[in-house]
Amino acid sequence: MSSIHTARAAIVVATITFVAALSGCRGATSKEAPIGGIRNMHDQPRYENQGRSPFFADGRMMRPHVLGTVSREMETDTRIETGRDEDGVTYLLTMPDEIGARFGGNEEMLQRGQARYDIYCTPCHGRTGDGKGIIVARGLLAPPSYHQDRIRHMPDGQLYATITNGIRNMPGYYAQIPTDDRWAIVSYVRALQISQANVPVEAQ
C-alpha cells in the first residue's frame, strides 16, 4: 500500500473515530453531579414575605419604598394612591370612578378584586370576610369581621389605606399588590358586605 493510501486510510479512521466519539457524547445522560465552580449559584437563599433578615438593620425582609425614588408605575393622582382627599387628611368616602374605568367596567373590577382577595386576604379574613380564615384554625389571632357595623360604615379610602399600610398585626401590601388591585379588593369587600348584610355577625 502506498503512503498516500496509508495517509487516506488514517484520515478516514480518525474521522470515523471522532464522529463516533462525538455522537456518543450527544444526548448522553449521567448520574454525576454537574461541574460547577460556584455552587451557591445553584441553590440561592430566598427571602420570604414577612420573614426576618440579618442583612437589614430593621430585620425585615419586606422592604419599604426607598425614600426619594419614583417608580415608573407610580400613581400620579394622590387620591388614588393614598385613599385620602386632596387635603391629605380626610378619607375618600367612595372609590374614585377612574378605577372602574381602568378595569373596563365595574364587573371586571369586581372579578379582579375577588381573584386578588382569594390570594391575599382569604387565609386570614375567610372566604366571606367573617375573620375565620385558616390562620385562626391554627391558633393565630382572628382579624375583625368585615360585617361589623364599624367596618361596614368605614370610608372606602380608609379600607384601601388599611390594605396599603397595614394595621396592628396585618402587614401593608403596598409592595405586593398594585394600586388598582387594592381598590379592586375594596370593591369585592363591599360586595361581600352586601351579600352578608342580613346575616348576624355572630352567625358568620
pLDDT digit string, tens, across residues 41-80? 666 677 777 788 888 888 888 877 778 887 777 788 889 9
Residue 48, all three cell numbers: 420570604
Q: Are the beta carbons of 119 and 168 closer than 8 angstroms?
A: no
Residue 136, all three cell numbers: 385562626
Half-sphere exposure of 42 (CA within 13 A, CB side): 7
Is residue 41 exposed (0-12), middle (13-18) or buried (19+ Cβ within 10 Å)?
exposed
Half-sphere exposure of 139 (CA within 13 A, CB side): 0
Q: Convert the pLDDT of each residue in 162-199 to its tens digit.
A: 999 988 888 888 888 999 999 999 999 999 999 877 66
- The domains found in the chain, sorted by start residue, are 78-203 (1.10.760.10)
Q: Convert the pLDDT of each residue in 89-104 to its tens digit.
A: 899 999 998 999 999 9
